[in-house]
Chain A
Amino acid sequence: MYDEPFDPLNALTFDDLIVGMTASFHHRITIEEIERFAALSGDTSPMHMSDDAAIEHGLDGRIPHGMLSGALASRLVGMHLPGPNGLLQSMKLTFVRPAPIDEDLLVLGRIEAKSPATHTVVLKIRITEAKTGYMVIRGSAQVGVLNPES
């Protein structure tokens, strides 16, 4: 497991990667992040911005954007597995439930397949509520692994 912050001197190369290798980190989505993501994306849907509007839609309160949670999958690829040698080619995400606000999420990736012919790995991605284990996002990513210039 690679729970430590990224160390650029230890960037994983294609040869370092093996099927079954995992990486994970924790993250807590905050109201400030929701506000920043809304400004960045232009998605100011009321259910993300207002507790009252969200409750009118049958929710318990405002919820983070799905792609804000999904951005954690980007961080997984770019910073952990495989890290900075990885180039995201495709990603498939299913948003099982809204992420909780101000509660720990566990972001976990596992290498499911490795293709030397294409220098590509396939990751299984799971984002869960750390406290309960409830699934927030499940998905997969196809990641090309570039050779760093020596």
Chain B
Amino acid sequence: MSIEAKDNRAAEPQIWTRLNRVFREVFDAPGLDVGPDTTAADIDEWDSVGYITLIVSIEREFGIEMIGPEIGELQSAGDIVELIASKLAVTS
């Protein structure tokens, strides 16, 4: 996983739609539109507590469970979508 995550918006449109909804809710930013390269540096409220809230909210939204090493590698929204997609692929 890296900051230069590939643009997977076309391959995972539903995940991106739902993830954007989660971001807007968690960070209380109705106009927020995150993309593959969005990182904590782009969102003021994306601090340590905000990140935990984000992870918990993503787990609830997608019905998945992450583990510590996985979330430690996430650096961008693109990374998050990749991880979600891999989790959903395993459970479907």
Contact = CB atoms under 8 A, between A and B. Distances in A.
Q: Is the interface of B mostly helix, strand, loop or mixed?
A: helix
A117 B60 contact: no
Interface string B40-56: 00000000010011011
A112 B56 CA distance: 11
A47 interface: no
Contacts, number: 39
Contacts of B60: 112-113, 122
A148 interface: no
Interface of B: 49, 52-53, 55-56, 59-60, 65-68, 70-71
- Top 9 closest pairs, chain A to chain B, by CB: A117-B66, A118-B52, A115-B56, A89-B49, A117-B71, A117-B68, A113-B60, A117-B67, A118-B55
